[in-house]
Amino acid sequence: MGDYLRLLTLSDREIPLADVQRGARVGSVWPVDHPDLLGNYLAIGPMMDDLSILWATVERNPVAPNTLGAEEVAEFLDSLESGGPPSAVRWLSDYLESVRAIYAIRVYPDAVAENPDAFDAVFGVRTALRGAIGGIGQWDGQGFTNEDDRLIWCNPAANPTGKTAAAILDEMTGEFIPFELDLGDLDERSAFLRGEIPKSARSRHR
């Protein structure tokens, strides 16, 4: 898991804290005072209000002119040409222009590694956020996911690894074609970056 997991959403509505807390199931989620981010900054950890051990933090950045969120979107747009597939670059370029808010989950890997419940708590919060306002994902070291949470774009320079649910956009129909991708297989990754479903991935689904 990378240090940041982001959810980029077209919705600008805020989510009740109780909904996020229920998503964690284990551990605790609570608001933290933060300069200029009052009410938009959450902590995730084993004990409520204990900042000495944090599994992750969640920061909500609205996207509007002259905001941090707008700067992040601009950076993502600039980065798209460094990866692929090309159809995802075009789709993401359109989608990112309409993003209204970014939820940035900063994960503390050492703390997560020390507690078997931590990953479930962090991922549960992300699932609760996504269930409430939808959106696409951006995973450090992996790439962007579509609204079905399948990987649709990656940057080969990040050397992504692991098997993941992926999809390639059929621009004729506007539909994503789902499959399982092994990013550690260089042939599969290269085919994906070209916009092709790898032959080995097709054979696994026969």
Instruction: Describe the crossing of helices 86-96 and 68-79 by its angle, rounded to 10 degrees.
Output: 160
Question: Quick one: DSSP state of residue 194?
Answer: H
pLDDT at 203: 57
102-139 pLDDT, tens digit each: 999 999 999 988 888 899 999 999 999 999 999 999 99
Average pLDDT score, the chain? 90
pLDDT at 32: 85
Output the pLDDT for position 63.
95
Q: How many helices (H) and strands (E) does the chain have?
A: 7, 10
Q: What pLDDT sits at residue 81?
A: 96
DSSP annotation string for 28-83: EEEE---TT-TTSEEEEESSTT-TTS-SEEEEEEE--TTSHHHHHHHHHHHHGGGS
| pLDDT band at residue 30 using 50, 70 and 90 as cut-offs | very high
pLDDT band at 205 (very low <50, low <70, confident <90, very high): low
Look up residue 187 and give its two tokens. 């042939």
pTM for the whole thing?
Answer: 0.89
Model confidence at 35: pLDDT above 80: no
Radius of gyration of the chain (CA): 18
What would the pLDDT profile of 41-86 be if each residue is shown by its tens digit?
Answer: 899 999 998 888 899 999 999 999 999 999 999 999 999 999 999 9
**Domain extents in the chain:** 4-150
pLDDT of residue 190: 96
